[in-house]
Amino acid sequence: MIDLLRIMEEAFSMRKLLGLTVLGLLMSVSIVNAAEKVVVVTTFPKEMTDAFAAAFAVSNQDYELEVLNKGTSAAVQFIQETAGNNTTDLMWVSAPDAFEVLMANGLLESVDINTEGIPDKIGTYPINGPDGYYYGFAASGYGIMWNTRYLEANNLEPAREWEDLAKPEYYGHVGMSSPSRSGTTHLTVETLLQGAGWDKGWADWKWIAGNMNTVTERSFGVPDGVNSGNIGLGVVIDFFAFTSRASGFPIDFAYPSVTAVVPANIGVLKNAPNPEGAKAFIEFLLSPEGQQVLFDPAIMRLPVNPAAYANAPDGIPNPFEGDEVKASVNFDADQSKQRYNVVNSLFDVMITYRLNELREAVRAVQLAEIAHADTDNAEAKALIAEARALIEATPVSEEESLSPAFAAIFQQSTEGEVVEGRQAELERQWDAMVVENYAEAKSLAQKAASL
C-alpha cells in the first residue's frame, strides 16, 4: 500500500515536471514568433545560408530565415514525406532535377516574382523554371579544378579540356562524383553527351573514368579530395574551386570549351505555412543587394543579374560577356529531362560500380599504345582498335535513351501505368555486357603490348 502511494507521488511530481517543461516550450515558441519564420530546406553550406540570413534580416525586419540543411536526395524525400502536413516554405538547392521531381509530384507552388533585369537565358539554358514554379538565382559552370602542389610534385601540366583528362599521364590522378549522386555532376555528364554526341560522349567519359582514382559519393567529396591532395584533378562546379582558393588552398580552375552554365534555383512549396515570407525572400535573393551577397568569399557564385558584375571581385568571370565561359553546347533541357534516369543508371553500371574493371582495361590499352607508339605493327594496332571498341561500346542507343517507354522503366510509375521490364533486370544485362567487354579488352590490349 505504501509502495503504491509512493509511486503515485512520484507520478504526480513527474506530471508537474512535464507541465513545467511544456510551459517552457510554449514560452520559447512565442518568443521566437516575434519575427515570422520563413523555413527553407537547402543543400547549401552554412557559410552561404548564414550570409544570406544575415543580409535578409538587415533588409527585411518582418521575416526571419530558418534554415534546414539536408543533402539533395534527403531534402526531396523530406519534402515528399512531410507534404501532408507541410512545415517548410522554400526549397533552395542547385540541382534543377530536384525541382523537376517536386514539380511532377505537385509539391511546388507557382508564384509571380518580379525578375526585372534578369535575362531569360544564360547561354542556352533557361534561367527560370516553367510557369514560376522555381527561379534561378545564381549561375554555375562546370570545369576542372586541380591542386597545384599535387601537379608539381607529380610533374603534371593542368588539364584544361575534357579530352585532356583522358590522356595516359593522368592515370590515377582524376576524381569526380557520380551523376546519380549529384545533380550538378549529372548536368556535366549530359553536357558532354550532347556536345560530343551520345556514342562519342560515353566513349569520352569512359576514357576519362579510366584515369580516375575514385568516384565519390557526395559531390563535395571531389573538391574535398583535391583540397587535401588525395586527388590531383577533379571535375567540379566552379564555386567549389573559387571558395577553396579563397580559403587558401593551392587550387586552380579552368572552364573547358564544352561546358554548360546552369542556374541554381529556389522555389515555393505547395501549402507553405508562410507564402508571403517565402516570396519576400526570393525577391530579396534576386534583388541587386541580394545578388551582391553571392560575391562573399565563402560563396563565390555567379549572379544571374548581369548588372551585379560591376562589383565582381577578381577571379569571378562574367558568363554574360567575354569568352572565358563559353557555353558552346546548345543544351537541350527537354532531352536531358527525358533520359535523366537512364543516363544516371548507365553511368553507375558502366563506370561507378565497375571502376576497377574499367581502369584495368583502360590502363592495358594505354600501355599497349605507349609500347606501340613508334612501331607500325599492324596486328597490334588492330588488337588495340578492337579493345578500344569493346571499352567504348554502350548497351543503350541514343534512340532508346530518348524513348518514353524505355525511360518509364526508370521512373516512379504513376497510377495505372503499365511498364514492360524492370530496372534491376536491365541493369543486370548491361552489367554482364560491360564486365565481359572490359575483361576482353584488357586481354586483347595485353596481347597487343606483348607483340
Partner 1 sequence: MTTNSVAPARMRQWRIFSGLSGTALVGVAVTIFLLAFLILPVLKVTYVAFQDPSTGALTLHNFGDFFRSSLFRSSFVNSFYVSAMSVVVATVIALPLAYITTRFNFGGSALIQSIGFIPLIMPPFVGAIAMQLLFGRNGTVNLLLSQYLGFKIPFMEGLNGVIFVQSLHYFPFILINLSASLRNIDKAMEESAQNLGCTGFRLFRRIVFPLAMPGYIAGAALVFIKVFDDLGTPLLLNVNNMLAPQAFLRISSIGINDPMGYVISFILVAFSVFSLWASFLFMRGKDYSTVQKGDGGLTRRDLSRGEKVVAYGVIIFILLLVLSPHVGLALLAFGTIWSFSPLPDGYTLANFATVFEQSIQYVTNTLLYAGLAAGFDIILGTAIAYIVLRTGIKGRKLLDYMATAALAVPGVVLGIGYLRLFHSLDVPVIGKPLASWWVIIVIALSVRRLPYALRACMAALQQVSLSLEEAAENLGASKNRSIRRIVVPLMAGGILAGFVTSFATAAVELSATIMLVSTNDDAPLSYGIYLYMQSPSGRGAGAALGILAVVIVGLGTYLSNRIIEKDRARKAEVDLPQ
Of residues 234-263, which lie at the interface with partner 1 (CB under 8 A)?
Answer: 240, 243-244, 246-250
Min separation Cβ 216 and partner 1, Å: 6
Give the footprint of partner 1 on residues 21-40 (CB under 8 A).
22, 25, 39
Min separation Cβ 291 and partner 1, Å: 20
Is 175 or 317 the residue whose CB approaches partner 1 more closely? Answer: 175
- Asked whether position 292 contacts partner 1 by CB under 8 A, the answer is no
- Asked whether position 84 contacts partner 1 by CB under 8 A, the answer is yes
Is 386 or 431 the residue whose CB approaches partner 1 more closely? Answer: 431
Q: How far is CA 141 from CA 99, 226, 264, 289, 356, in A?
A: 19, 18, 10, 22, 29
Give the footprint of partner 1 on residues 122-141 (CB under 8 A).
none
Min separation Cβ 10 and partner 1, Å: 15
- Asked whether position 81 contacts partner 1 by CB under 8 A, the answer is yes
Q: 260 is written with which cell numbers?
A: 554548360
b (16+ CB within 10 A) / e for 145-179: bbbeebbeeeebebbbebebbbeeebbebbbbbbb
Q: How far is CA 26 from CA 17, 19, 23, 247, in A?
A: 14, 11, 5, 42
Min separation Cβ 428 and partner 1, Å: 4
**E strand or H helix at 426, and its extent?**
helix 423-450
Is 305 or 401 the residue whose CB approaches partner 1 more closely? Answer: 401
Region near partner 1 per CB under 8 A, out of 132-140, 188-196, 359-367, 425-433: 425-433
Q: Give which of 189, 175, 184 is closest to 342, Cα–Cα.
A: 189
Per CB under 8 A, the list member of 35, 423, 433, 447 interacting with partner 1 is 423
**E strand or H helix at 192, and its extent?**
helix 183-196
- Asked whether position 99 contacts partner 1 by CB under 8 A, the answer is no
The amino acid occupying position 350 is M
The amino acid occupying position 168 is P
The amino acid occupying position 397 is S
Per CB under 8 A, the list member of 15, 16, 46, 200 interacting with partner 1 is 46
Rama region for 301: left / alpha / beta (φ>0; ψ in -120 to 50; rest): beta
- Asked whether position 386 contacts partner 1 by CB under 8 A, the answer is no
> DSSP assignment of 1-31, as one string?
-HHHHHHHHHHHHHHHHHHHHHHHHHHHHHH
Q: 149 is written with which cell numbers?
A: 602542389
Is 240 or 320 the residue whose CB approaches partner 1 more closely? Answer: 240
> Quick check: helix, strand or coil at residue 396?
coil
Is 47 or 283 the residue whose CB approaches partner 1 more closely? Answer: 47
Give how many residues touch partner 1 by CB under 8 A.
Answer: 85
- Asked whether position 10 contacts partner 1 by CB under 8 A, the answer is no
Is 60 or 69 the residue whose CB approaches partner 1 more closely? Answer: 69
- Asked whether position 447 contacts partner 1 by CB under 8 A, the answer is no
- Asked whether position 431 contacts partner 1 by CB under 8 A, the answer is yes
Min separation Cβ 167 and partner 1, Å: 20
Question: Would you say how long the chain is, in residues?
Answer: 451
Q: Give which of 347, 327, 314, 308 is closest to 427, Cα–Cα.
A: 347
Give the footprint of partner 1 on residues 332-371 (CB under 8 A).
341, 344-345, 348, 352-353, 355-356
Residue matched to cell numbers 536526395: 73
